[in-house]
Structure 1
Amino acid sequence: MASDEKDNSSTSFEVDENKISLSESELKAAKRCIYKNLLIIGLSWVFLFTAYNSIANLQSSLNSDAGLGTIGLSITYVCFILSCLLLPTIMIKNLGIKLTIFVCQLSYILYIGLNIYPRYFTLIPSAAILGLGAGPLWTAQSTFLTDLGTHFAKLSGETPELVINRFFGIFFAIFQSSQIWGNLVVSLVLKSGNSGNETTQNVSHCGRNDNPWTQTSPIKKPNQLSVYILCAIFIVCAFVGAFLILIFIDKYRKIGLVHSKEENKSPIQLILNTLKHIKDTNQLLLIPITVWLGFEQAYFLADFTKSFISCIRGVDYVGYVMIVYGVSSTIGSYGFGYMIKLVGRQISFSLAAILNYAAILLQIFWEPSFKGSYVLFIVAVMWGITDAAWNTQISAFYGVIFKSNEEAAFSNLKLWQSVGSAISFAYSNFIGTNVKLYLLIAYLTLGMTGYAIVEFRLKKKDNSSVSNS
């Protein structure tokens, strides 16, 4: 990458791509450097997404008038799709990983800031800009983690797959804690502005029974001063996250990473490479499980928070439930990152699917009630663990099976994830929650079927290689 190669620091761990030859002290220093960068990118995501996730969690409740919040989120993911196709490889080639991440983080800050004055002419354009920045941001992050893991494996003598899985697990464990801190801030700030729904209120129309045609009591919203304070806090958090990248992330040459496969290609070639990758058979088979990742995240973000939490307990209660979700995600990310070493990838995917089916069925059969609000926390725990599993395992799986074409692969990952999110947000205001839950079952089943076929193909390929040797 152009900018990643322009580093003349005296402390450098530049090495041959296929052969590592360092003294013991240099080896320890190189590993520390890798872990430092892993920690910094994780902390940067914590600060940025403490702000963004918390604001996004409230869109369907806080900006519910005329569906502004969910329409904005849908626009974000439509633009996310376009950016995944057109921007990641071009930006990474010209700016490098580090500056690509920093520039794209600024688009998140703009969206967060304009939530102070949420109107169609402010929120929709900023949501579109955020979507355009999200594709390169997440592609650069996934590429960086894969390159860090691959290089660390060469230093330690471990297999790349195990290290990449572990690194994604560590990253997502750090990153998912943003749900804890962000929603803690939300709960504390909004508590004074909203006393919640009364225990005597009829909530029979909530949960799975919520639909666009049911006459319901309006969601009680916090006062505007609380919203201003919330946005101010989150703007500061997002800026801290961006400047952590700019100041503390090392350039590729200093870390000793090698990532130059795409440098000599023209922008048109880079875009065509991303589009060409879609034709890969394994990529085609992984599209359903990748789209599922977008569906499940969008459902929990928009529909569960609105139809279950806000409808039953009020907007201020969203923060408390999402804190539990964040804790579960953090533990789940760390746990699944290491579980693959003990039980293997297939069992990890299967356990996540079983738990997700259980969480969906619980929402289908539960009769909403104010006194039964503890069920909201149970669902949050289950969903947090499964979301952690999907994030770590799907991302790591892409890094392992598409390691020769990682930028195009990760662009496709975020592209198809965004397709799921965009569709989910788009129909959020038009169909009932019960229908959405049954659709989730169908999406998950289709996704696991495609994943199972990929595993079968990989096993067959490995067996063929062994036989030929």
Structure 2
Amino acid sequence: MKNKEDLLQTPLLNDHHHQEENDYYSHSKSIQNKNNNKINIIILGLCFCILFSAFSPTQILQTTINQNLGYYTLAVLYSSLSISNFISPFIVSKFGEKISLIIGTLSYAIYIGSNIYVTQPSLYISSILVGFGGAILWNAQGSLIIKYSTEETIGANTGLFFALFQTDQIIGNIGSATLINKAGLSNSILFTIFMGISLMPIIGFLFLKCPITPKIKKTIKSINIQDEETKGNQENHDDDDLSIKNIFKSIIILFKDKPIQLLIPSLLYSGISQTFFFGVFPSLIGVEWVGYVMSVFGFFDALSSFILGKLSFKIGRKILILISTISSIIGTVLIILVNQSKIIYFSINNNNNYGEYKILCYFIGSALLGFSDAGFNTQLYSLLGVLYPTNGEAAVGVFKFVQSTATAVAFIYGPYASLFENVFVLDCLVIISCVFFIFADNFSKSV
């Protein structure tokens, strides 16, 4: 006969029938949570697509319309973005992702609006402002993607987001090309339309739900951001109560973590490549074709993001990052060869049609670069999400700090470096990035 203590320790639901009911309920709940998270990611991706359908052509046209001033204001923008990444995790943690997304969106609308009537002071001021707002926007986005995902779904979710987001290159560039070439709109009217479009995502952000994250099966290492005497109290604090000092400290500590150190070349490449994609490369094409060529870049970026995100968990990040590296090298080498006329001239009926084939090569190069960009974006987010699921704000803060610092530096030297020098730096860095990424990915097996 059992005593009173034994009876108290006996589970109330211990028969097989009740266990099956609990398992079924748990499985159904898990499927529902997964579907809800996916819906939120779709909303997030579509909102970013709309916002950047207005911002991306604005950014691309900077170096074409404003020339050197465009390069300098973009350098200021990414410098501001870089510095602001030390503050943005605190703001996201304090106000929540939804409010942070709205704040960031408003800053983009102000920046686009400053191009309606261009003055040097207004462009510089709005560049600083959008750098601050952009850091908040992207930190909130990265935090949400990580919170909406598990280790098994982080690759697919990242791919889904970037597939939706990168269609902005198609919509924005074809739209701007049509408005400029066909409709013949002035710059002031063009940017007024873009500013109105950039405000639309605010409505979508209001429909985002709080992240529903199932329990992570594996034990995840976390980053200590408190001193020894305050460790015990840390567990009792909610994320919203973290001070700016602690958030800043968590970012600094992350820089000392081995996987982050190994990923720094990849983050630098990610930043410098943005300067090449949206600054150097578009300036080679010309106003008439730039929208169409960059829309091909966006199409392959979006499509590849979806496919590579799905393949990330199945075939591994190492293989995908290697393929992306090769794609980047082939694309940049093709662009430099055709630009310097060292490619074989094609002729039809003894007539040289080099100009047409030059544009064709730009289309092929942009497709290869779009694929490469998708590979690095999806695999970097995927790896960071696996390594630091409980430190999303800090991890994204580090990512965006290094990336935007590299972008700012590249926009400063961009006007003075030759095409060969830009490509040489980019290709050397992508090879180093690939090697170090492979070593960093090994740490994902130990978490």
Is the shorter-chain TM-score for this pair beyond 0.5, marking a shared fold? yes
Q: Is the 1:48–1:241 Cα contact (8 Å) retained in structure 2?
A: yes
Q: Is the 2:116–2:189 Cα contact (8 Å) retained in structure 1?
A: no
Indicate the residue corresponding to 1:234 in structure 2.
Answer: 194
Q: Which residue of 26, 38, 46 corresponds with 2:41?
A: 38
The worse-fitting range, judged by mean Cα deviation, of 345-354 and 357-366 is: 357-366
Q: How many residues align?
A: 392
Match status 1:303 vs 2:280: yes
Q: Is the 1:84–1:412 Cα contact (8 Å) retained in structure 2?
A: yes
Indicate the residue corresponding to 2:155 in structure 1.
Answer: 165
Call closer, same or farther: CA 1:123–1:20 in 2, change over 3 Å. Answer: farther
Q: Is the 2:74–2:411 Cα contact (8 Å) retained in structure 1?
A: yes
Larger Rg, first or second structure (1 or 2)? 2
Indicate the residue corresponding to 1:196 in structure 2.
Answer: none
Call closer, same or farther: CA 1:90–1:364 in 2, change over 3 Å. Answer: same
Indicate the residue corresponding to 1:190 in structure 2.
Answer: 180
Quote the offset at 1:117 in angstroms.
1.4
Partners in 2 of 1:261 and 1:433 — Cα distance? 50
Indicate the residue corresponding to 2:95 in structure 1.
Answer: 95
Structure 2 unaligned blocks of 5 or more: 1-21, 216-234, 342-353
Partners in 1 of 2:140 and 2:112 — Cα distance? 21
Show CA shifts across 1:380-400 (max 9, x none): 110111111111111111111
Call closer, same or farther: CA 1:31–1:395 in 2, change over 3 Å. Answer: closer
Q: Which residue of 307, 322, 325 corresponds with 2:294?
A: 322
In structure 1, what residue type is equivalent to 2:290? V
Show CA shifts across 1:326-357 (max 9, x none): 11111110111012233211101111011111
Indicate the residue corresponding to 1:48 in structure 2.
Answer: 51
Identity level (%): 27
What SS class does the counterpart of residue 138 from structure 2 fall into?
Answer: helix
Q: Which residue of 406, 410, 415 corresponds with 1:429?
A: 415
Quote the offset at 1:99 in angstroms.
0.4
Q: Which residue of 317, 332, 349 corresponds with 1:360?
A: 332
RMSD, aligned α-carbons? 2.2
Indicate the residue corresponding to 1:402 in structure 2.
Answer: 388
Q: Which residue of 356, 366, 371 corresponds with 1:385?
A: 371
Call closer, same or farther: CA 1:175–1:30 in 2, change over 3 Å. Answer: same
Q: Is the 1:189–1:229 Cα contact (8 Å) retained in structure 2?
A: no
Indicate the residue corresponding to 2:232 in structure 1.
Answer: none
What SS class does the counterpart of residue 429 from structure 2 fall into?
Answer: helix
Quote the offset at 1:242 in angstroms.
2.1
Partners in 1 of 2:34 and 2:335 — Cα distance? 45
Partners in 2 of 1:34 and 1:21 — Cα distance? 20
Q: Which residue of 322, 325, 331 corresponds with 1:350?
A: 322
Structure 1 unaligned blocks of 5 or more: 1-18, 151-159, 194-222, 463-469
Indicate the residue corresponding to 1:174 in structure 2.
Answer: 164
Partners in 2 of 1:112 and 1:48 — Cα distance? 11
TM-score (normalizing by structure 2): 0.83
Quote the offset at 1:257 in angstroms.
7.5
Partners in 1 of 2:23 and 2:177 — Cα distance? 50
Partners in 2 of 1:262 and 1:272 — Cα distance? 14
Indicate the residue corresponding to 1:288 in structure 2.
Answer: 265
Show CA shifts across 1:173-229 (max 9, x none): 000001111011111111048xxxxxxxxxxxxxxxxxxxxxxxxxxxxx7x42123
In structure 2, what residue type is equivalent to 1:417? Q
Call closer, same or farther: CA 1:127–1:20 in 2, change over 3 Å. Answer: farther
Match status 1:137 vs 2:137: yes
